[in-house]
Amino acid sequence: MVLVPTMTLIRHAMPVVDPATDPSTWELSDASRSAASALVLPPGPHVFAASTEVKAADTLAQLTTGPVTVDARFCEVARPKAPDGDTHRALAAAYLAGAVHDGWEPREAVAARFGAGIAAHLADGAHLADGAHLVVGTHGMALTVWLATVAEIGDPVAYWRALAFPDVVSVALPGHWRRPRPGAI
């Protein structure tokens, strides 16, 4: 019997937005921590790896009392700060649709680093030993860009817009869906 490794991608819970600070330092509210702790993971042992951004690591911390390894390969798409949320959402949607924006990390680079992070964590024998399941805490655009390279997600913009804060996406590797849409937990 051949076991197909699976992993779960977790989009972080909604942070407390503070326009005066770097988004990578935004923390979760008590309500967001509660929402994260209500997420349901597959049964069995889990290995947790998260973006270095506070909101992603803190989302995973709500799901375990064990360690959460931080890994910059799971960070959000690198980009300049948008002047407001509406502008950010419009630029992000255009980026996911294929636009090239000055100062934005190329989609190919995002997919490559994200995939390299997954490969590295799965190559570590501890992740597959005893049926351990890899759980990655990440961000909406990075998750969508990577999934678009390994799975049929249809319209990346619609997929990204449908992701909740927080959300769970389970994937059987390499790139075969266990659940074809975000949102249902």
In a domain, 157, yes or no: yes
- Secondary structure in 3-state letters for 63-81: CCCCCEEECHHHCCCCCCC
Query: What is the CATH classification number for the domain harbouring 96?
Result: 3.40.50.1240
Q: The domain containing residue 55 runs over which residues?
A: 6-177
Under the banding of pLDDT at 50, 70 and 90, the label for residue 125 is: low
For residue 24, what pLDDT band results from cuts at 50, 70 and 90? very high
Indicate the number of domains in the chain. Answer: 1
Residue in this structure with the two tokens 């997919």, named with its chain if needed: 111
Which has the minimum average pLDDT: 93-107, 115-129, 136-150?
115-129
Q: Which residue has the higher pLDDT, 15 or 4?
A: 15
Distances (CA, A) of 144 to 37, 109, 134, 157, 181: 23, 13, 18, 8, 12
Q: Decide if 11 is inside a domain.
A: yes
Please report whether residue 150 resides in a domain.
yes
Domain membership flag for residue 118? yes
Residue 63 placed within a domain: yes
The reply to whether 182 falls in a domain is no
Residue 15's DSSP bridge partners are: 28
Domain assignment present for 1 = no
pLDDT for residue 6 is more than 60? yes
Task: Please give the pLDDT value at position 130.
Answer: 64
Inform me whether the pLDDT recorded for 174 exceeds 60.
no
Query: Given this model, what pLDDT does residue 180 score?
Result: 33
Q: In what order do the strands lie in the sheet with 6-11?
A: 68-70, 46-50, 133-138, 6-11, 167-172, 176-177
User: Residue length, the chain?
Assistant: 185
Tokens of 165: 């804060």
Within a domain: 142: yes
pLDDT score, position 31: 98
